[in-house]
Amino acid sequence: MKTRFRMLMASTLLAACAVGAMADETPADPIRTQAMQPIASDPVRTQAGAIAGTQIADGVRAYLGIPYAAPPVGDLRWAAPRPIVWDGVRNADRTGPECIQVLRPHGINHYFGEEATSEDCLYMNVWAPAARPAAKKVPVIVFIYGGGFTIGSSGMPNYGGADVARRGAVFVNFNYRVGAFGFLAHPELSREQGGHSGNYALMDQIAALRWVRANIAAFGGDPDQVTIVGQSAGALSVAAMIFSPEAKDLFRSAAMTSWCNYRDTMPTLAEAEAVGLAVQQRLKAESLAAMRAMPADRILALQSESQLGANVAGIRIGGPIVDGLVLPEQKASLLAAGRINRVPIIASSNTDDIDILMSPFGHVATLAEYRATARSAFGADADAFLKRFPAATDVEAKTMARTVAHLGGFALASRKCARDQAAIGQPAFLDEFSRKHPYTPGVTFADQDPATVGAYHTGDIPYWLGTLDVYNRLRRTRDWTPYDRTLSDTMTDHLIAFARDGRPGADWPAWTKRSPREMVFGDTIAVRRMDSARLDWLEAHPIARTPVPPRPAGPRD
């Protein structure tokens, strides 16, 4: 028996040594499990009920999985969010489930672990600095995720707010309904809801902002210093809030990254209702009640999807519509009439964003292709284009083509927003993010090639929010440098200043026609003058977009 015991102890020691050896090979900046402790000052009293959170590193207070509206299930599927109240103290120590959507393959860049998924998903998360006197309220940043309006979750760690709170602001994010559950319009729904339907996702966002307005002071946040920030579909959501009368006075500034668009044409209510009837027909449902009684996965299965490897040729459902309530008219009409929530904005884009894929120039690989694309895009003006955007070799042609795609894409869109802001007497602060992540040698993903990806769509978000380390959470994918951390700190501080003051710092000038400058966040941080002459030419000669091809597993959040 003693001999067996000694053998067992020896094998245990060998295993321990092996673990120790493995520990020596772990990333230099691993995500560590943080001690979660009760907060002495809890519970926090909100209008809905009392909440108890947890204290994490550096005294940051985290309140995760707070319900901001009643579960949108049963008769509340395809209905405006309803208030919720509870008795006792609610334990807010974990994020709520993401709203119904396709799930992420595990080999993609933005896989950070599986999340629970449910229709009962209207939850928010609040990160606040260490307790401070009630008189010293701090600015509030509310983040709205992207994902093409069909995927996305506030529970994704790259959207977390601990670092923002550590640097002196309250950070809020939340789930909103996506796809068919967030945007389905239908004649029966319109009759039920007073002549409008659809835009439930936007109604969720407004409900969350109203919750913030009513309750954020209890967490130390200033309800008069709220900035809303969105990326991709989140940026279009922020634009919808700027144009929605329902969101009036719920925020004092707004930031849009990838991309700012004040003039996109949205489907009308009649067009969206026709889609809803097509959904009903595909479901073989005899009534709205029958559609509400169906399991969610049957509805999700017929929804068109080209993200995360789910190439489903179904019915396209997702995105804001002109419903007559949340968005009473097209944005261009509202802008012309001055019916817009007048707030300062940040308009941000990345140098290797999806505007590259949306342009015919984004697919150019040779000088011959570059010249052929120019003639196809500009016809008789091709020679003038080639003089302004010259290239003499295949390498120069490929580089210049990507520059054209970006300048004629999100860079031009940002400048248009800046001009529209100037017309209503509000400032716009523009920036371009050009820093390529420092990938760990040999790392692979199903949805991007680290050798060629550049400053990709969503690549700026971990810098804005200080969530760099989550990219090494499950496996080492980045070798972050001290400069990356400095860049992230700088960008986060600009965002907090924007929430606090309505401007992102004295060293970041507002765009003006006379002095069209933008901030560049890249391998250096600098202010530069925009290339107005080239932007003017491309604005006068718009490039028709090409459909973004389905990607094997490319997330847009």
Residues near 300 by Cβ (< 8 Å), separated by ≥ 6?
100, 101, 102, 179, 180
CB 187 within 8 A of CB 276: yes
133 three-class SS: coil
Helix (H) or strand (E) segment spanning residue 222: strand 221-231
Helix (H) or strand (E) segment spanning residue 142: strand 138-144
Residue type, 9: M
One digit per residue, pLDDT tens: the chain, 557 residues?
434 333 333 333 333 333 333 333 344 444 445 556 888 899 999 999 999 999 998 899 999 999 999 999 999 999 999 999 999 999 999 999 999 999 999 999 999 999 999 999 999 999 999 976 667 899 999 999 999 999 999 999 999 999 999 999 999 999 999 999 999 999 999 999 999 999 999 999 999 999 999 999 999 999 999 999 999 999 999 999 999 999 999 999 999 999 899 999 999 999 999 999 999 999 999 999 999 999 999 999 999 888 877 777 889 999 999 999 999 999 999 999 999 999 999 999 999 999 999 999 999 999 999 999 999 999 999 999 999 999 999 999 999 999 999 999 999 999 999 999 999 999 999 999 999 999 999 999 999 999 999 999 999 999 999 999 999 999 999 999 999 999 999 999 999 999 999 999 999 999 999 999 999 999 999 999 999 999 999 999 999 876 554 444 445 67
Q: Furthest-apart CA pair in the chain: how many Å? A: 93
- CA dihedral angle for residue 126, residue 130, residue 134, residue 140, rounded to 10 degrees: -40
How many other CB atoms are there within 10 angstroms of residue 375's CB atom? 15
Output phi, psi for 303, to 5 deg.
Answer: -85, 130
Instruction: Tell me what pLDDT residue 307 has.
Output: 84
- Domains delineated in the chain: 37-540 (3.40.50.1820)
Helix (H) or strand (E) segment spanning residue 55: strand 54-55
Question: Residue 62's beta-bridge partner residues?
Answer: 54, 127
End-to-end CA distance of the chain: 58
Residues near 244 by Cβ (< 8 Å), separated by ≥ 6?
202, 206, 326, 327, 341
Beta strands in 498-543 (DSSP E): 517-521, 525-529
